[in-house]
Each structure stands twice: as C-alpha cells, then as structure tokens.
Chain A
Amino acid sequence: MSADRTPRTLLLLLVAILAAGPFAPQWTLFLLTVALAKGLVVLGLMMLLRCGLVSFGQALYYCVGAYAAGMLGRLYEVSGVLTLMLAGMAASAAVAFVLGFLLARYRSIFFGLLSLALSMILYGLLVKTETLGSSDGFNVLPSTLFGWRPADAWVRYAVLSVAAVAAFVAALAVHRYLGTPLGRLAPAIKDNEIRVEYMGASARTAIHVKYVIAAALAGLGGALAATTVGHIDPEMAYWTTSGEFIFITILAGTGSVIAPFLGALIFGIIQTVAFDLSPNTWQMVLGASLLLVIVFLPEGLWSLFKRRKIA
C-alpha cells in the first residue's frame, strides 16, 4: 500500500491559498471562496454518491445553513463567523437527522426525487415568508472574526482564509472518516446491501450517518456562501442549485476529498469565462464541458491525477 498523500497535499493547498491570497486580484479571491463553499456541499454529495445515492436536493441544506447564519445576524445581531459556520452546520445536521429517518429507507431515483421534493418545500416556504424577505431574501450582516472586522481592502482575503481553513479541516475529517470501517462500507452498500446486513452492519444506519455528515457539510458551505456573497435568497434551495452541485460532483469525480474543491473551482472558472465570452449562451459552454468530461473522463477530472500517479 502506498503512503497516504492526501493530508500533505491538503496542507500544501491551504498554505498556497493563504500565501498567494494577498497578491491575487480581488475577483479571484471571491471566485475561490465561492468554490470552497460549493466544494463543501459537493464533498458531502461525493460521500453519498460513493454509496450509489444521488441527492437532487442538497440545496436544501445549503439553504438551511445560509439562512441559519443569516437569521442569527438579522435577529440576534451575531456576526462571529465561527459561530455562524457552526450554526449553519448544526441547523442542517439537525434537519438531516430528522429527515434521514425517512430518506435512509429509499434508494436510487426514489431517494433522489424525495430529496428534491423536500428542498422545493423549503423553497416554497421561504418564498411565502415575508419576514425573511420572500423571494428577494435579505442582506447578511458583515461578519467578524473574534469581534475583529478587517479593513475593507482585506475583507475578501479574510473571508477566503476562513473558508480555506474550514474546507481544509472538513476535507481532512472526511478523508479520515472514509478510511474507517464505516466509511469504507460505501462501495459495499452500493454493490450489495443484503450482504452488508448479513455481515452484521446496518446499511440504513450507515446511509443515515453519511446523510447527516453530507448535510452538515452543505450547511457549512451555505453559511460560508452567505458570508461571502453578503446576501441570501430562496434561490439557494431551488432545484437548479441542487443541479449545479450534482454537475460539479460529476465533473469532479469521487476519487479524492480534494476533487470536489477542484471541481467547484473549475466550474466557477468555466462559468465566469463563458459568461464573459458569450453572455447569452454560457450555459451551452458549461453543458459542452460536462459532456466532454463524461465522454473522455468518466470518473471525473480527478482521474487526470490518478493516471499521472500510475505513470
């Protein structure tokens, strides 16, 4: 067995982001922060996909995380970014824990569509809730770090740093989890649940646990997105948002915990460049790139790195 290089690579990436940040243009900092937030959601989707489950409604937890963070600021004027992130994670995990009792019973298309339906219920509720700005949403309080608010020129870098550290910790924890016996059960659940039961493990419990972890990651991503963008609206729970996360998951591949962040970054770059070049047909460019990846790299962009390692 080869040595596990993932923790070292993650650390190098973190150091690189923190070191290069002060010299990079502001728009790249924003792009990167959003990519990290979305990458967290995709990290959770990757865990579920390894079990053979596709959640078409992960935006539910992205939105719950964002609203939990936003409402803390709006109702209680809490602005500490760590509190907001923890609140986003906790709110999403709590919702997922309850809904998980239902969802862990379902597989394949039923799991997918049920999760989609639940996210659309939240969308519907938020659109009708006037105190939370209905379909317009509301602006999020600028956040602070232990009561400290950076100078305007440094806000983007500060938020990026927090996002990078959060993503680093989350990716490292998920990586470690995937190496535990319960984490390694994922492909077995995908292949043969009967055998999993007859070996003395509960596939449903394993899926429930992964579902809650995935939701917590999505909640963290949502809270970070709220902090970065400074505005939240029900669109965050809309099905196209879930679709975007699945898009990135397929683009990235499930090979490594680094893949989701890479996928989210490349998605962001393609989106930005395509929108610049052809404002009316940028979706076509996105679609074409996904098509190319599916045809030539069926295991996602991450397979590029795997091949290089073997060579």
Chain B
Amino acid sequence: MAAILDAQGLQKNFGAVVAASGITAAIERDSVVGLIGTNGAGKTTFINMLTGYLKPDRGRIHYEGRDITDLAPRDITRLGICRSFQIPQLYASLTAFENMMIGIGVVLRNAGRGGFFARGQPLVPGYERLPEDVAERLLERFGLGEYRDKNAQVLPGGIRKLLDIALTMVARPKILLLDEPTSGVSAEEKFQIMEMIMKAVRAEGITVLFVEHDMEVVSRFAERVLAFYDGRIIADAPPQAALADPEVKRFVVGGELRRLDEAAGARRA
C-alpha cells in the first residue's frame, strides 16, 4: 500500500523542552493507526504539526506526495486532513444542526458554491445533496438525531465528542486525526462510541489516526500502533507486538498504569 502521509524527521523544541525528536512515520492509505504514550510524550505535538498548527523546527511532512509542512491549518484542512479535538471545539451557542450547517457552509464556500450571486440552493460537494439534507444524515449517522435542536453547550460529554467528530466529516476528509476520541467518556460508552466512529469513517474509506490511552480500545480498533515516549516513536508495530514491546511496557503502558494509580490516589485523597 502507498503512503498517503509521510513525516520525515520532525523536530520541535519549546525552549529547552524537546516535544518532538526525529519523528518519522509513513501512514498507509486506508489504515487505522493508534497513537499511544503518556502525557507529554509528543502525540498531540505530532498531530499539531500534521495539521499545521505547529511548524516543525526541522523535518518535512508530505501528503499524497505534496509538501504540506508550511501550510496553514485551513489549507491543510482543504486538502483533506481534518482533525477532532481532545476537548470538543464546538460553536457553543448554536444547536447541533446549526453547528453542522456552519461546517457545510465553509465547505460550500471553499468550493465556490452558494456565494452572493449564486442562484438557487447549492449542493454540498462530494455529497451532491442539499446542505440541510447532509447535516441531517451526518447527525443520524453519529446517533445525534435526537440532539438536533439542542445547543452544543448543554450536550453531554460523549455527545459533544461525537458532534465534534461529525463536524470533521462534512468536508469528506481523506485523513482523520482523532485526538483522544474517548477521553472523558465512561468505560461502557468507550467501545460504543469507537464502534460508531469506525463504522461511519470506514464506510467512507478514510485513513484514521487516533490518540488513545485505553489499551483495550487501541488493541481492538488499531491496525498499527505508534508508541511515543519523550518526543520519539519507540515502537511502530501491530497492536499485539507493540504492546508486548519491553520499552513500551516500561514507558507507555507502565506509565499509563502509574497515571491511573495516581489519579485513583488523588481521588481517594
């Protein structure tokens, strides 16, 4: 399989802190890749560099053979690399439906449809349907139909996560970067949410990178795992092999357990 996304030797320092140190990874088309690592290991820095939010100090990023290292987030989005957020980034004062319509509006505008002098109702590119229709369908696909007219700020956590991801889908991305899609969601709901996301995403043939702390979720949904530690990738393998790697056990999985212990301790205290 051909690589759709190719990161070569990405380096990023924040003062004395090394956030990324020679990250090299080629992502194959139609693959599902899990990014694991403790907080501060460089996962989100990696995503932020891929989406143009951070410029690497060194190294290049190629997408479908094109160098995208110096593009702004909006230009990278237009090329088909979309992301969701650890903390859902929604339009809080608008309803779920209106949130979708804003996203569709941007897609229309970038396609040069529905402008000031346009006549009649524009069709959403890629879907070739009316905007309202696309919004409804996407909401339904993510099980958000009943929340259609609720304001984003009053939606429950898991629903906000789903709406955040549904919003990325309006542009028909080719690569989807999901930053902790199941954080802040109860353990029972995690699998349910991931199932729903994967079903929706795989139906479109989208390449997926997702950051995840729950190793059960990773081993169930990822085809390949990139384990981060200290700004480096310490393991790049299928889930079973990656999770069995001694370094990953020591620095990532162990770290996760320690983190959970600490969290539990803090809760008890």
Q: Which A residues form the contact surface with B (CB < 8 A)?
A: 1, 176-177, 180-182, 184-185, 187-188, 190-192, 194-202
Asked if A198 and B77 make an inter-chain contact with CB atoms under 8 angstroms apart, the answer reads: yes
Asked if B101 and A200 make an inter-chain contact with CB atoms under 8 angstroms apart, the answer reads: no
Interface residues of B in 144-159 (CB under 8 A from A): none
Partner of B102, one of A180, A184, A194, A197: A184
Asked if A195 and B116 make an inter-chain contact with CB atoms under 8 angstroms apart, the answer reads: no
Encode contact with A along B108-139: 1 for CB under 8 Å, 0 otherwise. Answer: 11100011101000000000000010000000
Q: Please judge, given known A-B contacts A177-B116, A199-B171, whether A192 and B108 are in contact too, CB under 8 Å.
A: no
Partner of B91, one of A188, A197, A200: A188
Asked if B101 and A187 make an inter-chain contact with CB atoms under 8 angstroms apart, the answer reads: no
Asked if A201 and B91 make an inter-chain contact with CB atoms under 8 angstroms apart, the answer reads: no
Q: How far is the CA of A177 from the CA of B118 in the complex (A)?
A: 11
Asked if A199 and B106 make an inter-chain contact with CB atoms under 8 angstroms apart, the answer reads: yes
Asked if A200 and B102 make an inter-chain contact with CB atoms under 8 angstroms apart, the answer reads: no
Asked if B106 and A180 make an inter-chain contact with CB atoms under 8 angstroms apart, the answer reads: no
Name the A residues within 8 Å of B77 (CB-CB).
197-200
Q: How far is the CA of A62 from the CA of B263 in the complex (A)?
A: 59
Interface assignment of B31: CB less than 8 Å from any CB of chain A: no
Q: How far is the CA of A4 from the CA of B167 in the complex (A)?
A: 27
Name the B residues within 8 Å of A177 (CB-CB).
116
Name the B residues within 8 Å of A200 (CB-CB).
74-75, 77-78, 106-107, 110, 171
Asked if A195 and B114 make an inter-chain contact with CB atoms under 8 angstroms apart, the answer reads: no
Name the A residues within 8 Å of B74 (CB-CB).
197-202
Interface assignment of B93: CB less than 8 Å from any CB of chain A: yes
Name the B residues within 8 Å of A196 (CB-CB).
106
Can you list 8 pairs linking A and B with CB atoms under 8 Å apart? A181-B104, A184-B101, A191-B90, A192-B90, A195-B90, A198-B51, A201-B106, A201-B109
Name the B residues within 8 Å of A182 (CB-CB).
105, 109, 115
Name the B residues within 8 Å of A185 (CB-CB).
102, 105-106
A-B contact count (CB 8 A): 82
Q: How far is the CA of A201 from the CA of B73 in the complex (A)?
A: 9
Name the A residues within 8 Å of B89 (CB-CB).
192, 194-195, 198
Name the B residues within 8 Å of A198 (CB-CB).
51, 73-74, 77, 82-83, 89
Q: Please judge, given known A-B contacts A191-B93, A198-B51, A198-B83, whether A181 and B108 are in contact too, CB under 8 Å.
A: yes
Encode contact with A along B168-207: 1 for CB under 8 Å, 0 otherwise. Answer: 0011000000000000000000000000000000000000
Main secondary structure of the interface of A (DSSP, over half): helix
Min CB gap A90→B, angstroms: 19
Interface assignment of B103: CB less than 8 Å from any CB of chain A: yes
Task: Determine the residue in chain A with the shortest Cβ distance to B93.
Answer: A191
Interface assignment of B94: CB less than 8 Å from any CB of chain A: yes
Q: Which of A176, A188, A195, A198 has its CB near the most chain B CB atoms (within 10 A)?
A: A198
Interface assignment of B257: CB less than 8 Å from any CB of chain A: no
Name the B residues within 8 Å of A195 (CB-CB).
89-91, 167
Q: How far is the CA of A31 from the CA of B106 in the complex (A)?
A: 41
Name the B residues within 8 Å of A192 (CB-CB).
89-92
Asked if A187 and B93 make an inter-chain contact with CB atoms under 8 angstroms apart, the answer reads: yes
Q: How far is the CA of A194 from the CA of B51 in the complex (A)?
A: 12
Task: Determine the residue in chain B with the shortest Cβ distance to A173.
Answer: B116
Q: How far is the CA of A195 from the CA of B94 in the complex (A)?
A: 13
Asked if A191 and B103 make an inter-chain contact with CB atoms under 8 angstroms apart, the answer reads: no
Name the B residues within 8 Å of A202 (CB-CB).
72, 74
Name the A residues within 8 Å of B82 (CB-CB).
198
Asked if B73 and A181 make an inter-chain contact with CB atoms under 8 angstroms apart, the answer reads: no
Q: Which of B73, B75, B104, B109 has its CB near the most chain A CB atoms (within 10 A)?
A: B109
Min CB gap A38→B, angstroms: 25
Q: How far is the CA of A256 from the CA of B101 in the complex (A)?
A: 20
Asked if B73 and A197 make an inter-chain contact with CB atoms under 8 angstroms apart, the answer reads: yes
